[in-house]
Amino acid sequence: MINSIPKFKILIYFFASIFTLFVSCKNDNIEKIQVLTAADNLPIEIGTNIILNYTDSGIVKAKVFAPLLERFENEKTSQSVMKKGITAYFYGKNKKITSYIKSKYAIRDDRAKTMTVKNDVVVVNIKGDTLRTESLIWNEYTNKINTSYAVKITTPDEIIYGDGLESNTEFSSYKIYKIKGIISLKK
């Protein structure tokens, strides 16, 4: 019996050591997985005070100004995130500004060539007509902007409320979906 006590203690130490080894290895693997996973969520590029020029046949069609741009890319997506918002100016054939968009947040799908702007979105055209909404999508291929969100359009003559809109980037020709009301500003 005296000889069995040390063997028992040895077995306890052995199993405690094995348990500690498994627990410590398991934690190391979790930490390594978390580090690798977090690396996939990091931007591949970061820029401040960025100016993006959009051209067609060498002619500037739009300029986007962003205080902060972070670009993310993986097998599935390629996105540019502008957490501090944007101001985008659109140019006509005469190389003059025809309209602009401002928002507090934007994300560009680099592969689909679309930009979604969100949070206090304002679009103003050359006549001073103003669109306000919470989210808007600019399609670079079609040169159209659209939203399914509530819109408020203010012109010199009226205020129009609706749900949804489609327009050219100049905001000179637009269609409002589901008009909710029109307020005349004429005297």
Per-residue pLDDT of 111-131, as tens digits, reads 999 999 999 999 999 999 999
pLDDT of residue 106: 96
Q: Measure the CA–CA gap between 60 and 177, rounded to whole angstroms.
A: 31
Tell me if 138 sits within 8 A of 61, measured CB to CB. Answer: no
**Overall pTM surpassing 0.75 (yes/no):** no
Q: Give the residue among 120, 146, 147 at the shortest CA–CA distance from 134.
A: 120
Q: DSSP class of residue 126? A: T
| 3-class secondary-structure state, position 170 | coil
Total number of residues shown for the chain: 187
